[in-house]
């Protein structure tokens, strides 16, 4: 890709217009963190709201921590969340490559432009020298910044240092005076002193590009006009705008999302219930639930905030000006609320497909659909469906509450229950009516023993449907087993 291939190349500017292209640019150094998943979702919603493009770029310059497995997992998790992209490492596009390690030649040409314009210079300071410099500045009560030690080295001095084996980094030359104003979509106008920034590294001593540099120029070269990212990147923005101004490139509109924290205000981790999107997938959360929850973390949907929204509604109602500044807190109970709504709003066929890995092969297709519909009100996760399936296909082992009820129910009740069941040919409505009259029991006194015998629990699916699906013979067996249990209890 030649340097002149720039998506937009007006004089340097900082612009806010209708979104044409947003992006998500993760580093594949682990599984997708929920905070980054929210950022990706917001960027995708912003682009799709305006009918714009969404771009995926892989920032893989940390080679030791960026194995292919994490990139593969990243793409898989984003697709599971329901995101798609118009340009990316797997589908290409007009402004690729879309992996930074495949763009080193592009960066090299840009570095040379800055060197030729005396806007960058090689720095031979060792890590030890820089650490000592920072320590001295802190001791003197000053904020750490590069002193400019290598700023004016002549060719002879550079050659001497290189003869000693020093591999230079490359620093961007920042003006020693002046201020830079940045208008952030979320935080408003912020002003930075150039003196406080100091000259910063844009290429590491091993030749790899620094984040400040590659991230900024890739956005410009790829025509990105909206960058949403975490609040922790706020301090990067002035440096990146300076780079783009020096190269005559247009800066995108930046919006820095408030951080996503745990319910206790600490950085989100597994102890809060989940840390990565993969954790939620493993727990059995539906993508619809996760999308609806993440879309509301730091963003509000007004009157629609209380109901599960379709993808079309999430896109249509998403507004950048509805993003708040307060940190968002991950609350597992809230996510489970959206999970319950997602389960209830799914079709029977969708639920059957979701639960396919835990459904017994012995069930016919029709039985599967009937069973899924029967247990729908009582499940949120596949593990719960698995438990109900075991209680359906095998004689259930009563839990403690159910066992107490079975022990307290006299044998005479089970004899009457079995007799009336036979007399009414297993018809649920007629059987219950006959059993009420014969036993004198009503309400919980009647239904709790039946539920305990037929399901092994005191709460669960609607009993009439359970019995119909279970079949008369298996109902007889379970009633008989409850009677035997009563005799043993006596």
Q: Is 34 exposed, middle or buried (0-12, 13-18, 19+ CB in 10 A)?
A: buried
E runs forming strands in 265-378: 328-329
Tell me, what DSSP letter sits at residue 120?
E
pLDDT of residue 10: 34
Ligand-binding site membership of 162 (annotated):
no
Please list, in sequence order, all residues whose beta carbon lies within 8 angstroms of the beta carbon of residue 481, skipping any fewer than 6 positions away.
Answer: 395, 453
Could you tell me if residue 436 is inside a domain?
Answer: yes
Q: 88 with 42: CB under 8 angstroms?
A: no
Q: What would the pLDDT profile of 326-368 be if each residue is shown by its tens digit?
A: 999 999 999 999 999 999 999 999 999 999 999 988 889 999 9
User: 426: domain range?
Assistant: 400-489
pLDDT of residue 261: 92
Q: What CATH number should be reported for the domain holding residue 475?
A: 1.10.10.350
Could you tell me if residue 428 is inside a domain?
Answer: yes
Q: 14 with 251: CB under 8 angstroms?
A: yes
The dihedrals phi and psi of 176, each to the nearest 5 degrees, come to -80, -15
Q: Residue-wise over 267-289: b if at least 16 C-beta within 10 A, else e?
A: ebeeebbbbbbbbbbebbbbbbb
pLDDT of residue 18: 63
pLDDT of residue 273: 66
Could you give the C-alpha distances from 383 to 134, 346, 349, 356, 366, in angstroms and in order?
A: 54, 18, 18, 12, 21
Could you tell me if residue 155 is inside a domain?
Answer: no
Please list, in sequence order, all residues whose beta carbon lies within 8 angstroms of the beta carbon of residue 244, skipping any fewer than 6 positions away.
Answer: 12, 216, 217, 220, 250, 251
Q: Give the CA angle between residues 184, 187, 189 to the nearest 5°.
A: 60
- Alpha-carbon distance of 446 to 440, in angstroms, equals 9
Q: What would the pLDDT profile of 80-111 be if each residue is shown by its tens digit?
A: 999 999 999 999 999 999 999 999 999 999 99
Could you give the C-alpha distances from 76 to 90, 218, 281, in angstroms and in order?
A: 11, 23, 11
Could you tell me if residue 61 is inside a domain?
Answer: no
Could you tell me if residue 432 is inside a domain?
Answer: yes
Annotated catalytic sites, by residue? 270
pLDDT of residue 67: 84
Q: 221 with 106: CB under 8 angstroms?
A: yes
Residue 425 has a CB neighbour count (10 Å cut-off) of 9
Closest by CA position to 285, among listed 429, 441, 143, 77? 77
Is this prediction's pTM over 0.85?
yes
Ligand-binding site membership of 270 (annotated):
yes
Closest by CA position to 417, among listed 434, 397, 402? 434
Q: Give the CA angle between residues 77, 345, 338 to the nearest 5°.
A: 55
pLDDT-flagged residues of the chain (< 70): 1-18, 270, 273-274, 486, 488-490
Ligand-binding site membership of 467 (annotated):
no
pLDDT of residue 412: 94
Compute, in degrees rounded to 10, the torsion defined by CA atoms 362, 342, 316, 295.
Answer: -120
Ligand-binding site membership of 150 (annotated):
yes
Could you give the C-alpha distances from 216 to 89, 94, 193, 226, 242, in angstroms and in order?
A: 18, 18, 20, 12, 10
Could you tell me if residue 58 is inside a domain?
Answer: no
pLDDT of residue 269: 74
- Alpha-carbon distance of 213 to 234, in angstroms, equals 15
Domain count, the chain: 1
DSSP one-letter string for 85-99? -SBBTTTB-TT---B
- Alpha-carbon distance of 3 to 22, in angstroms, equals 21
CA atoms within 13 A on the CB side of 330: 25
Angle, helices 411-423 vs 443-455, to 10°: value is 80
State the chain's maximal CA–CA distance in angstroms.
108
How many residues in the chain?
A: 490
Q: 348 with 385: CB under 8 angstroms?
A: no
- Using DSSP's 3-state secondary structure scheme, residue 172 falls into strand
Could you tell me if residue 474 is inside a domain?
Answer: yes
Residue 6 has a CB neighbour count (10 Å cut-off) of 19
Could you tell me if residue 7 is inside a domain?
Answer: no
pLDDT of residue 309: 96
């Amino acid at each position: 890709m030649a340097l002149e291939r720039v998506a937009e190349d007006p004089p340097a500017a900082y612009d806010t217009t209708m979104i044409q292209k947003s992006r998500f640019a993760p580093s594949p150094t682990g599984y997708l963190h929920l905070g980054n998943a929210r950022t990706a979702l917001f960027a995708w919603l912003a682009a799709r709201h305006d009918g714009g493009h969404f771009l995926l770029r892989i920032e893989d310059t940390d080679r030791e921590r960026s194995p292919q497995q994490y990139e593969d997992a990243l793409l898989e998790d984003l697709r599971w969340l329901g995101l798609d992209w118009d340009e990316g490492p797997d589908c290409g596009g007009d402004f690729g490559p879309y992996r930074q390690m495949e763009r080193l030649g592009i960066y090299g040409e840009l570095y040379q432009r800055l060197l030729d314009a005396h806007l960058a210079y090689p720095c031979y300071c060792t890590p030890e020298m820089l650490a000592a410099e920072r320590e001295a500045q802190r001791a003197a009560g000053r904020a750490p910044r590069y002193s400019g030690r290598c700023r004016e080295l002549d060719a002879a001095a550079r050659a001497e240092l290189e003869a000693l084996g020093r591999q230079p980094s490359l620093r961007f030359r920042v003006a020693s005076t002046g201020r830079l104003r940045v208008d952030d979509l979320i935080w408003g106008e912020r002003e930075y002193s150039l003196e406080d920034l100091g000259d910063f590294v844009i290429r590491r001593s091993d030749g790899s590009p620094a984040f400040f540099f590659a991230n900024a120029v890739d956005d410009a070269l790829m025509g990105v006009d909206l960058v949403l990212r975490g609040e922790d990147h706020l301090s990067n923005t002035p440096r990146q705008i300076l780079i783009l101004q020096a190269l005559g490139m247009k800066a995108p509109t930046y919006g820095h999302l408030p951080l996503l924290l745990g319910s206790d205000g600490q950085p989100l981790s597994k102890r809060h219930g989940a840390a990565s999107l993969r954790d939620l997938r493993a727990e059995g959360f539906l993508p619809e639930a996760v999308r609806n929850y993440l879309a509301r973390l730091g963003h509000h949907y007004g009157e629609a905030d209380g109901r599960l929204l379709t993808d079309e509604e999430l896109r249509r109602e998403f507004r950048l000006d509805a993003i708040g500044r307060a940190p968002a807190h991950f609350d597992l109970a809230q996510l489970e609320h959206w999970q319950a709504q997602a389960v209830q709003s799914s079709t029977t066929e969708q639920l059957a497909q979701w639960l396919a890995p835990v459904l017994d092969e012995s069930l016919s297709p029709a039985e599967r659909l009937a069973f899924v519909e029967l247990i729908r009100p009582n499940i949120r996760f596949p593990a719960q469906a698995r438990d109900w399936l075991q209680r359906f296909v095998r004689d259930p082992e009563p839990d403690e509450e159910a066992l107490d009820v079975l022990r307290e129910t006299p044998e005479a009740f089970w004899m009457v229950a079995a007799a009336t069941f036979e007399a009414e040919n297993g018809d649920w409505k007629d059987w219950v009516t006959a059993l009420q009259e014969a036993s004198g029991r009503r309400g919980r006194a009647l239904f709790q023993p039946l539920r305990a015998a037929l399901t092994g629990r005191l709460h669960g699916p609607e009993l009439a449907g359970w019995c119909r699906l279970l079949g008369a013979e298996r109902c007889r067996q379970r009633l008989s087993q409850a009677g035997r249990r009563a005799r043993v209890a006596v």
